[in-house]
Amino acid sequence: MSNRKLSPGITSSRAPEPVGAFPHARRAGNLLFLSGMGPRRRGSREIPGVTLDAGGKIVSYDFATQCKSVFDNVRTVLEDAGSSWDRIIDVTVFLTDMKNDFPTFNALYGEAFAHNQPTRTTIEVKSLPTPIAVELKVIASVGDSLEALGQVRCPQCGRATIARSVGDVTVHQCSPCGGLFLHQGELNKVAAPTAGDLEFSTIDLDSFEHEDDYGPIACPECDDEIMKKVEFNIQTNIIMDWCPRCGGFWIGKGELDLINQEVQRLNEASKETVSPPMLWFARFIWSLPR
């Protein structure tokens, strides 16, 4: 029998307070297990989409509002625990009225998981601990190992990439080609310290001309999805490939070399002329092991 202890429970300062003696989540290896999550908001006894009478009984409820609030709470716990929505592996759904609420839930679920389709089990229960109509329990991957993010092959040469980390951000790098792939969840971590979104614009493939162009490529994560050329403006325009399905980015060696050159000037540039997301992203790429 193993003597390995469980990791400490994870409690989010942004998610609703647990209604019992349990944490929001707990990690075991590269898996993150979330406790059942409802629609309540932190610091309030009110439940989005639910109207109660003086005795605490449900008068009416907006099921769609509850669902969206549940998704928000799950997303919050995942992010605070070092994971993300796109890394959810399994979902267990608890509904108190399968007949009336399932169609609405299924439609909203389909929108929320348009680019990530984890396994799912939906169960009808008589009631939940608080006067709510839906609760979700999820399992997600977490950590920066290759096993946690899945095998990624270079879209140019087909060889297996190597997982490399800077802090808690993991990228997949191809040694022969020198290219780099970032999952959407990892890209979100890159942008998070800047409190802003990364800025890029899509390029028309028909009119695309670039000195280091290697042509359209298939996303290494989605296989059959052709990535789009996008332009990332860091003083010098950097061309990358972006997957509209999973949100991942592929950056070729030529573009990485340009970033490495430009970061020298960016470190001296005024922050008034270079937006924080661009500056941080460039410095992140530059700090990767080569």
DSSP conformational letter for 8: P
Q: Are residues 156 and 174 in the same domain?
A: yes
The predicted structure's pLDDT at residue 166: 65
Cβ contacts of 48 within 8 Å, gap of 6 or more = 39, 40, 41, 65, 66, 68, 69
- Among candidate residues 141, 176, 192, the one where a domain is terminated: 141
Q: Are residues 108 and 224 in the same domain?
A: no
User: What is the pLDDT of the chain when averaged over all its residues?
Assistant: 76
Length of the chain measured in residues: 290
Domain CATH code at residue 26: 3.30.1330.40
Q: How far apart are CA 117 and CA 120, in angstroms?
A: 9
Interval 5-22: pLDDT, tens: 445 688 888 888 888 889
Q: Are residues 108 and 206 in the same domain?
A: no
Q: Is 4 inside any structural domain?
A: no
Tell me what percent of the residues of the chain surpass a pLDDT of 70: 69
Q: How far apart are CA 8 and CA 39, in angstroms?
A: 25
Q: How far apart are CA 191 and CA 124, in angstroms?
A: 39
- Report which of 121, 138, 134, 43 is spatially closest to residue 83, judged by C-alpha positions: 138
The total of structural domains in the chain comes to: 2
Q: Is 3 inside any structural domain?
A: no
- Among candidate residues 141, 174, 192, the one where a domain is terminated: 141
Interval 190-247: pLDDT, tens: 655 554 445 555 555 444 444 555 567 778 776 656 788 777 665 566 777 888 777 7
C-alpha gyration radius of the chain? 22
- First-to-last alpha carbon distance for the chain, in angstroms, is 41
Q: Is 250 inside any structural domain?
A: yes
Q: Are residues 168 and 277 in the same domain?
A: yes
- Among candidate residues 86, 107, 141, the one where a domain is terminated: 141
Q: Which residues form the domain of 64?
A: 9-141
Alpha helix stretches (DSSP H) within the chain? 63-80, 98-112, 146-149, 184-191, 253-266, 276-286
The predicted structure's pLDDT at residue 45: 75
Q: Are residues 101 and 200 in the same domain?
A: no
Q: How far apart are CA 36 and CA 20, in angstroms?
A: 11
- Which of 55-59, 132-136, 144-148, 194-198 comes out lowest in average pLDDT? 144-148
**Mean pLDDT score, 36-63:** 83
Q: Are residues 66 and 161 in the same domain?
A: no
The predicted structure's pLDDT at residue 199: 53
With residue 89 as reference, give the H or E element that holds it: strand 88-95
Q: Are residues 185 and 218 in the same domain?
A: yes
DSSP string, 193-210: GGTS----EEPPGGG---
Banded pLDDT at 255 (limits 50, 70, 90):
confident
Q: Does 178 have pLDDT greater than 90?
A: no
